[in-house]
Structure 1
Amino acid sequence: MVSTEQLGKPKETSDILQSLFDRAFQPSGSGKRVAVGSPYRSTAIFGPQGQRLIPTITQEMCGCTGLSACLVFMPPGRIARPHFHARSDIIVMVLEGFAASLIGPDLEPVFHGPGEFIYIPEGVVHVAVNLSTQSRLIAVEARTDPKFNEDVVLSSEYDERASEIVADLHRMFASGELEIPVHWNVGEMGPFRFADVEEADLLPQ
């Protein structure tokens, strides 16, 4: 398992390889280039929403014009500040750990765990929550904001209510009282595992 200390630190060899890769796959005149974003080479930032984020694909890095992506690291018990993205849709996929997102003015909890995706449209207030007070959460986030974090708007009017809801979620998750998705295995906090499926059993496209 990758340690927290390894995330967001530069790696000289990877930088050399990336430089060669970028030069080899940059279409002339487009301003865009194929790029490999890595949390091992990127610098972690602390976003206005109170999240530790490691940008991996941004317009500055590769000239993209329609999206960006990052790795999200949430320590045990972490909660983001209530916020919304004024002009961007987002998709979050949990790699490790168990999350709740408090959605909308009622801060309705929506649960998403390892291997699961959540889509949040632009303008929708949300609060990211690591349900565990003992284990970290790692997720991948993609946004339709190529500059990354440009349109984050804090919604401080929800701060107090969000803290109350999260306190209950943490307590109930720790005690086993929280009604979570039946397929979650909370005893397995590591990276998600796909069930093996025979190729003959896959649905045709």
Structure 2
Amino acid sequence: MKWALSELNKFRGSQVDFLETIDLSASLKKREPSIIDISPIKVNGFLEVDEIGYYAHMTIETILTVPSSRSLEPVEMPLNLLIDEEYMTPRQYDALKDVSEDDKSLIIVLEKDLIDLTEAIEDFILLNLPLQVLTEEEKQSTELPKGDFWQVVSEDDIKVEQETEAASTIDPRLAKLSDFFKEDEQ
């Protein structure tokens, strides 16, 4: 998934289509130890070459195996991502006019005369790792894990507990007023 700029410049004004299967499991596991396994990644897309720069558009498909957030059981998750990247040489970047700083920040300035899409693919996979992963059984179960002196509680349970506690707690500044109503009842 690497192209020399001299090779790509032969296709100026057109695009280079690609359909490849790559294996990035070793480098992804090194960068993110929580990844148990990742199947070979199917990459389908194109690189468009023009005077302004190099535009890469691709879709990736793979199956990622990561531990469950609750039980640490391995969970296989299909991952389908759409990736768009814009690359420019330093000379092309410096020649940009009428482009806002926000738009300029999205452009990747090439340090070498080489475009390596595997770096972008790795970065997108790592950025799209889910924070919460559950097995099918854990998704179906409403019971959260617990042990002898601990238990997992949901945010909703905490809110209900806080609201109940707040309703039963009397502000010490107003405690005398609660005695006022007790005298009238007798």
Question: TM-score, length-normalised on structure 2?
Answer: 0.29
Radius of gyration: which is bigger?
A: 2
Greater helix proportion: 2
Question: TM-score, length-normalised on structure 1?
Answer: 0.27
Higher relative contact order (CA 8 A, sep 6+): 1
Greater strand proportion: 2
